[in-house]
Structure 1
């Protein structure tokens, strides 16, 4: 796994319900792929914070990250201002496998699992459908960004305040019935991933999922993010989400343990 560590400048902060930073880091941007993440050091905290890469601009030498405030560390990170420097390690992990842009792809994101779907859908343009789920209308992010790169957007909310009132799997079923895609990518809560994977299995569609687990080192040196995965012979082994993932073939993930 090839990654770098350095101090890089935050060049843009966008307003919204999630913290939305663009970081100028040409060396990291040049290596970054859809589905990978960065590990950011927060002053006063021992452990870095893992944050998915939302978007990569290799020409500008930037990456974009979005994150929620989930604890004291991200609360401090949220106070970052434009022009501030961040200690960033990355890109880390294995990303999604992108097929030929002519293939039909569906990306499914739930909540904080939506940001990494933007870069994933980018290469497919109008051949990608983005199924995005949020708790409510005031939590919606990035829909305009998906539309701007010619992705079809299907939106749902838990409370029905915007889009379809229900689950992402409701919309995935609609999309499957319209035209079976070549691949489905998903990131979000594990229960969501479980049912997305099950539906893809029923329809005979390949599915890759990005798992969300608590991480410590971010490079596979500790056991903090070990998760059960099916081996080729059907046995269960434990792999690191940070190093071996976060992306796995859905059929290999053990969701019920």
Structure 2
């Protein structure tokens, strides 16, 4: 059951010129409600902004005296610009936990595939599975790369891809995913988060090699609790589901990609 509360900012760190790492004290939400990476919190961004901003949880820590959650967001408009101006000690109004995270199992091996601001929600899984995780991280260019060192600290291998070839492999992540699955197919699942075209390509490759694939969908959200139709997406069986309530993580086979 999501709760609304005011959370204190305990860390505010720029990762590049437009992306911020913000750590919040979230009360007992981690211990009592199971907040985890891949879920999201709906954050009020200033008195004048009616709609909250959904921000994915990168990692959590059940700690005393307060549980903490790290949120990583990119400044894209007035609301996130306001949020980027907050300081340590400030409080923000937060609704959560919302949505679901990836479905994982103890002892599993996971191929983590992230694109751009879709990379942060995978961090908690990299830190949980360490050498049982391989990461493929895609960005537009070298100056947009974030969290690469954090992933390298725990994953067995980390592959970087950039659209312009300025760092790592030149091109999109699906080509790297194909190369990896060509050599080893014994991953428990592919966990992917990023823009829809990337997810569609990764899901197709995973299906070709018979590896289960879970995708975290990105859609504009208004209410965050399934009451409006702002984030509805079509499923392969013809039904509609809400990214905020039923997702954001879905089995890739459930999604209708050709709409």
Conservation of the 8 A alpha-carbon contact between 1:22 and 1:64: yes
Match of 2:55 in 1: 51
Match of 1:182 in 2: 188
List aligned pairs for 1:84-163, cutoff 5 A. Answer: 84-100=90-106, 102-163=107-168
Match of 1:29 in 2: 30
SS at match of 1:132: strand
Of 18, 37, 42, the match for 1:39 = 42
SS at match of 1:88: strand
Gaps of 5+ in 2: none
Q: Normalising by structure 2, report the TM-score.
A: 0.94
Deviation, 1:225, is 0.6
Following TM superposition, the consecutive aligned residue runs of length 4 or more in structure 1 with deviations greater than 3 angstroms are: none
Conservation of the 8 A alpha-carbon contact between 1:121 and 1:151: no
Structure 1: distance between partners of 2:45 and 2:75 = 13
Gaps of 5+ in 1: none
Return 111-120 or 10-19, whichever deviates more. 10-19
**CA-to-aligned-CA distance 1:121-160 (integer Å, 9 cap, x gap):** 2221101001000011111111111122244211111111
Structure 1: distance between partners of 2:54 and 2:243 = 11
Q: Normalising by structure 1, report the TM-score.
A: 0.95
SS at match of 2:28: helix
Deviation, 1:73, is 1.0
List aligned pairs for 1:216-231, cutoff 5 A. Answer: 216-230=222-236
List aligned pairs for 1:208-219, cutoff 5 A. Answer: 208-219=214-225
Deviation, 1:179, is 0.9
Match of 1:9 in 2: 8
Conservation of the 8 A alpha-carbon contact between 2:220 and 2:231: yes
Deviation, 1:15, is 2.4
Structure 2: distance between partners of 1:246 and 1:139 = 24
Deviation, 1:118, is 0.4
**CA-to-aligned-CA distance 1:174-199 (integer Å, 9 cap, x gap):** 21022111200001010000010001
